[in-house]
Amino acid sequence: MLDVHQLHDAFAARFGAPPQLVVRAPGRVNLIGEHTDYNEGFVLPIAIDRATFIAARARLDRTVRVYSVQFSADDAFSLDQIERNPHQPWSNYVRGVAKGILARDLPLAGADLLIDSEVPPGAGLSSSAALEVAVAYALQLLNRLDLLGEELALLAQGAEQSFVGMQCGIMDQFMAALGRAGHALLLDCRDLSYRPIPVSPQARVVVCDSGVRHSLVGSEYNERRAACEEAVRLLRARLPRIAALRDVAPAQLEANADLLPLVILRRARHVVTEIERTLAAAAALEHGDLPRFGALMDASHASLRDDYQVSTPELDTLVEIARSLPGCYGSRLTGGGFGGSTVSLVAEGSVERFAADLVAGYHKRLGREAHVLICTPSEGARLVATF
Ligand code: GLA
């Protein structure tokens, strides 16, 4: 990944003039609250200290030129006709954001953008949200738009939903825009109110990338979301006032289980119990009760594996090994699932040893390479430099 000076120089070399500014927006790790955001429930993620950087300069015409250092690829499009580019999937995040700004009737000039990222793609760390929010923030600054962090997040989410076709919730984009250093955010995905909760310095957040990528992630994800909507539709026969699974308590779901086909019941059961676990975990973190927090992470994984069925044998193996190691409070898959990463909460003094033993254990059990990132809760999108 290029540093800020290298980004400046690479931009000038490619586009023939220096950038006006450099922005960054981070990836995220969700500690608990998985597949709850699109059910209007709660999530408890941190923004991580790995980000996507964009060097940017406004243009006088209506052309956007983009270069990705990471993919050694470029793209260009006109603001007057923004269509999907099937040959450069990464560029659709940029196109989608520009289209979203125009759809809001905001003034937008062309731009040159040079992008680099330290968020590994496909690892479940929301590299796409980091890119979308970084683009939205760069264009906001270049065009002097007056957008709040929440609006940036919604704009970025809209780009992903309508332009990329993933019916994602708001969590990833919200964290890329509004993450807070040293804190997790307990986010209410119904009204976007949130409470920052300090992450104890006695614990470290350890992400482990299983190295497995699932190409069906978009369709499987959209299918899970549709199952939740179907559950709400069927439950309304007896619970006419519910708007989302957020409104259903676990006991209420069980009392009305006969309304739902078994698969739909299991999907809904994950969501309603996960929302409860997330609130309990936020309270445990606030009270410094790390063992309780870890137990809730473990329960979250079991529910994602058995009821929501988004885990993989590799993620299950990583979680199992992690829990057997000294200093581990809890471990679970993080993000959408179907591959990607696990997150573990580990005692500060044990973290180096934990990371080494986890990678070694995974290799021994499955013959695969895992990659560990020890993450620090960081801030959301910000301006890094102006020139
Ligand atoms: C993906 C989506 C998020 C969220 C998670 C699962 O990361 O982008 O909105 O639904 O999956 O919790």
d(CA 225, CA 229): 6
How far apart are the CA of 173 and the centre of ligand 1, in A? 10
Pocket of ligand 1 contains residue 40 by CB under 6 Å: no
What's residue 122's pLDDT? 84
| Ligand 1 lined by 209 (C-beta under 6 Å) | no
Which residue lies with its CA nearest to atom 8 of ligand 1? Answer: 168
Rounded to an integer, the average pLDDT of 208-214 is: 90
Percentage with pLDDT > 70 across the chain: 99
Predicted confidence at residue 215, as pLDDT, reads: 58
Residues 96-100, mean pLDDT to the nearest whole number: 97
Active site residue 172: yes
The per-residue pLDDT for 164 is 85
Ligand 1 pocket, mutate which of 44, 46, 172 (most atoms under 8 A from CB): 172
What pLDDT score was predicted for residue 166? 85
Residue-level pLDDT at 119 = 94
Q: Are 35 and 85 in contact (CB under 8 A)?
A: no
- Residues 284-312: tens digit of each pLDDT: 999 999 999 999 999 999 999 999 999 99
The verdict on the CB of residue 377 being under 6 Å from ligand 1 is no
- CA-nearest residue for atom 2, ligand 1, is 168
Q: What is the pLDDT of residues 239-269, one digit of tens each?
A: 999 999 999 999 999 999 999 999 999 999 9
Cα–Cα dist 213/353, whole Å: 26
* Nearest alpha carbon to residue 335 among 221, 198, 247: 221
**Residue 217 pLDDT > 80, yes or no?**
no
Report the atom number in ligand 1 closest to the C-alpha of 34.
12
pLDDT band at 84 (very low <50, low <70, confident <90, very high): very high
* Residue 27 Cβ < 6 Å to ligand 1: no
pLDDT tens sequence across 303-348 = 999 999 999 999 999 999 999 999 999 999 999 999 999 999 999 9
Taking 90 as the threshold, does the pLDDT of residue 71 lie above it?
yes
pLDDT over threshold 60, residue 216: no
Token pair 């939740």: residue: 228
75, 112, 172, 307: the catalytic one is 172
Tens of pLDDT, residues 140-184: 999 999 999 999 999 999 999 988 888 899 999 999 999 999 999
- How large a percentage of the chain has pLDDT more than 90? 94
Q: d(Cα 335, Cα 45) in Å, to the nearest integer?
A: 10
171 lines ligand 1 (CB under 6 A): yes
Name the most confidently modeled range: 124-128, 218-222, 364-368: 364-368
User: Which pLDDT score, from 0 to 100, does residue 25 have?
Assistant: 98
Question: Average pLDDT, whole number, for the chain?
Answer: 96
Q: Which of 243, 374, 296 is nearest to 34 (CA)?
A: 296
Is the pLDDT score of 63 beyond 90? yes
Pocket test for ligand 1, best of 30, 36, 37 (most atoms within 8 A of CB): 37
Rounded mean pLDDT, 205-220: 84
Single-letter code of the amino acid located at 72: S
C-beta 168 within 6 A of ligand 1: yes
- Mean pLDDT throughout 272-294? 98
Question: From the CA of 18, how far away is ligand 1's center (Å)?
Answer: 36
pLDDT at res. 253: 98
Q: Contact at 8 Å (CB) between 224 and 218?
A: no
Q: How far is the CA of 137 from the centre of ligand 1 (A)?
A: 21
Q: What confidence tens digit (pLDDT) does each residue in 126-139 have?
A: 999 999 999 999 99
Ligand 1 lined by 310 (C-beta under 6 Å): no
270 CB near ligand 1 (under 6 Å): no
Q: Which of 31, 32, 35 to mutate to test the pocket of ligand 1 (most atoms within 8 A of CB)?
A: 35
Is 169 a pocket residue for ligand 1 (Cβ < 6 Å)?
yes
